[in-house]
């Protein structure tokens, strides 16, 4: 039985990383680990550790991404919730068997991790991401 280990990160959709950091870094006092361009999701991401999880500020770098559409339709704010699992392939098999609708039927393989999104239709409106770290 595959298991969720912890919340890996909360993804927050932002129109501007620097402007957002005036709250998350300068006001709340959180420390930014790094900011990097994530080509696979056409975004700039600020990684902000908070206990065993991260707050990830995600700024779209193209208009055709899910995050860009989310901001256009609903405004900036919490975008997705990412859980770290011990076996993502087994978890996806299990979710499918239980009738859960997946955005990614099989995990995408990226350097250091495998990942997949679960459709908000099956979660009660939450875009759930699953990660398995592979390094």
DSSP lists the bridge partners of residue 84 as 6, 131
Residue 72 interacts with its own copies (CB under 8 A): yes or no: no
Q: Indicate the residue among 41 and 82 with the shorter CB distance to its own copies.
A: 82
Piece in contact with its own copies (CB under 8 A), picked from 4-12, 32-40, 60-68, 109-117: 4-12
40: left (phi over 0), alpha (psi -120 to 50) or beta: alpha
Choice from 33, 63, 74, 108 touching its own copies (CB under 8 A):
74
* Cα radius of gyration rounded to whole Å, the chain: 15
Residue 47 token pair:
């990684």
Instruction: Specify the stretch interacting with its own copies by CB under 8 A; choose among 15-23, 37-45, 61-69, 104-112.
Output: 15-23
Q: What are phi and psi of 40, to 5 degrees?
A: -65, -25
81 binds its own copies (CB under 8 A): yes
């Amino acid at each position: 039985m595959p298991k969720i280990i912890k919340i890996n990160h909360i993804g927050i959709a932002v129109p501007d990383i620097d402007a957002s950091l005036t709250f998350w870094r300068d006001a709340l006092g959180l420390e930014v680990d790094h900011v990097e361009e994530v080509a696979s999701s056409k975004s700039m991401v600020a990684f902000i550790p908070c206990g065993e999880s991260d707050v990830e500020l995600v700024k779209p770098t193209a208009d055709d991404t899910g995050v860009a559409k989310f901001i256009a339709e609903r405004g900036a704010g919490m975008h997705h919730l990412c859980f770290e699992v011990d076996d993502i392939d087994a978890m996806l098999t299990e979710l499918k068997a239980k009738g859960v609708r997946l955005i990614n039927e099989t995990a995408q393989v990226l350097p250091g991790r495998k990942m997949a999104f679960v459709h908000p239709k099956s979660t009660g409106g939450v875009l759930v991401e699953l990660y398995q770290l592979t390094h």
